[in-house]
Amino acid sequence: MTFFSHHNIPPHCRIVAGISPPVVQLLKHDPDRDSISLKCHSTLEPATEIIGSDGKPAEETHVEWYRNEVKLTKSPHIDLQRRKLHIKNALAKDNGVYSCLLVVVSRTDGSRRIALRSSKNYRLKLKPGTNYGQSKIDCTKNHNLLLCRGKRGDRQLGVAGDRLTTERPLMSDEAPAQLQLAGEGQSSLSGPAPVRIVVHPVTTVVNESQPVVFNCGFRVTAANESGGFVLRWRKDGKVIRRWDNLAEATTVPTDDAMVGATESSTMFRDDARIHVDRTNGSLVFGSVVASDEGTYDCQITNNASDFLVSSTAAELQIISNLRFTPKPPTSKNLELGSIAKIHCKAQGTPAPTVHWTTVVSDGGPAPALPDSIEDVNGTLVFRNVSAEHRGQYACVAANSQGEIRASVSVNVVIAPKFEIAPEGAVQVAELGTVQFHCVATGDPKPTIQWDKDLQYLHAKAGGANGSEEERYRILENGTLVLTEVHLEDDGRYGCTIGNSAGLKREEVHLIVKRK
């Protein structure tokens, strides 16, 4: 994310003021059409003006909508128009807490400049099995406040101290310093939540393969009518673990509101490295891998979703071990006269440098690479392979962790080539004799294999007179000899030549004439 201060404002930019956090408002509800409309409203429209070098605004603003922390997309059921959200044919499955994210992005590269989470959200809670327009709303119930606007006064779901609610981890390039999580603040419809988080996860930097524990200590502050609490852990905004303190085991979300997040986190379900400690709700990693890196937070609610409390977000940063990805091959065959490449990549923290060098047998200092060989960002490039390129080469990766090497033996080969190839058509009388010649060159010396109608021929010495094996003979020079030709010998005979540089095949058609 790019931040501007008074000392580093680009010449083509002018910053006048900031943007206030938005609130979610009920814009319209139509019982006849079973529709609900919400708006992501900011009391102060952006007063920031950033002008690009072309004289046009360099940034633009858009809104992202979320239901129970799952991002909403446009569908036949949900319509997104600028800052408005329209729900058509509202059903019980639409229940949940609706929030919005006001995002300012760069018009040139699409990167985020600022992201503000709604400070006040709306909850929708309809009875299962009924359409919105078919059920009478009881405005004496706090949980129906969304549909009772104007009947019992507007009340919006908020947080203590009017702090900004960011109930999903913020990407590193999304939010300025003033964006903070609701944490232990109020997040219920009827008052303070009956639980508060007192021990938050903290940013951790750890070596790969080491264990990690993220804490989420909470304290019950009031009676909870629905009974137990549900604690869920998220990585980069997606639920990866869920723990019900009244259940015997950790489970995955099953309610409609969490289906999207659960599907996005399938990769974590069977990962035995990660579990929730049932005694205190901590997220435990047995050993971390590079893909675990990200932003984590915990949330506490109940089975009725009457409240939602979020912890502060914590970063997990993995110091990757120095290693090749993947390791180069131990040997490589390069064709004479060709352009060839040998790739070498490595990863680690910090990012390693990678280069190639020659290897000498006596262990002395390695000479420089020949002019016809280039080291291009870890890729060894042979511009015109010659016999002089045979030898040992080493890929070297290094960072502050140390140095690793991988040796590659380079062989120069010549692709097989026909000097005499079987071709065309040959006629022979029944019980006659025919020869097909096949001569090839290459380095290493090519092998020769004959087939009839793509079925390999296996000529064997000896055997009884007149046996099938005795009628087929392959000479040392590669010539195929057929004696006492039968009518069923009619067909296509192919000769395949090959070595480590490749394979080639040519064929001849044998036509047998009846006597």
Kindly tell me the sign of the dihedral angle through the C-alpha atoms of 300, 305, 308, 310.
Answer: positive
CA distance 139 to 152: 7
**Topology annotation, domain 326-361+369-414:** Immunoglobulin-like (2.60.40)
Cα gap 381→371, rounded to integer Å? 11
CA-to-CA distance for 36 and 79, rounded, in angstroms? 11
What is the Cα–Cα distance from 415 to 499, expressed in whole angstroms? 7
Q: Does domain 23-124 have CATH number 3.30.479.30?
A: no
**CA-CA distances (angstroms) from residue 218 to 228, 298, 315?**
13, 10, 20
SS3 471: helix
The reported pLDDT for the residue numbered 53 is 62
Structure tokens of 296?
A: 């984590």
Report the pLDDT value the prediction gives residue 479, as an integer from 0 to 100.
94
Q: What is the pTM of this model?
A: 0.48
How many other CB atoms are there within 10 angstroms of residue 404's CB atom? 19
Domain topology for 421-513? Immunoglobulin-like (2.60.40)
DSSP state of 352: P
Res 161: pLDDT: 31
pLDDT at residue 450, as a whole number: 95
The predicted pLDDT at position 338 comes to 92
CATH superfamily of the domain spanning 195-246+271-320:
Immunoglobulins (2.60.40.10)
- Per-residue confidence in pLDDT tens, the chain, 515 aa: 333 333 333 443 333 334 677 888 888 887 777 789 999 988 654 444 555 566 666 678 889 999 888 889 999 889 998 889 999 888 888 888 888 888 877 777 666 567 788 888 888 877 665 454 444 444 444 444 444 444 333 333 333 333 223 333 333 333 322 222 333 343 444 467 888 899 999 999 999 999 999 999 988 887 655 557 899 999 999 999 998 876 644 443 333 333 233 333 333 456 889 999 988 889 999 999 989 999 999 999 887 667 889 999 999 999 999 999 999 999 999 999 999 999 999 999 899 999 999 998 777 778 889 899 999 999 999 999 999 999 999 999 999 999 999 999 999 999 999 999 999 999 999 999 999 999 999 999 999 999 999 999 876 543 334 455 678 899 999 999 999 999 999 999 999 999 988 999 999 999 999 98
pLDDT of residue 390: 93
Cβ-in-10-Å burial (0-12, 13-18, 19+) of 406 comes to middle
By CB atoms closer than 10 A (0-12, 13-18, 19+), residue 13 is middle
**Does residue 211 contact residue 204 with C-beta atoms inside 8 Å?**
no
CB 481 within 8 A of CB 503: no
> Identical fold at 195-246+271-320 and 421-513?
yes
- Give domain limits for the chain: 23-124, 195-246+271-320, 326-361+369-414, 421-513
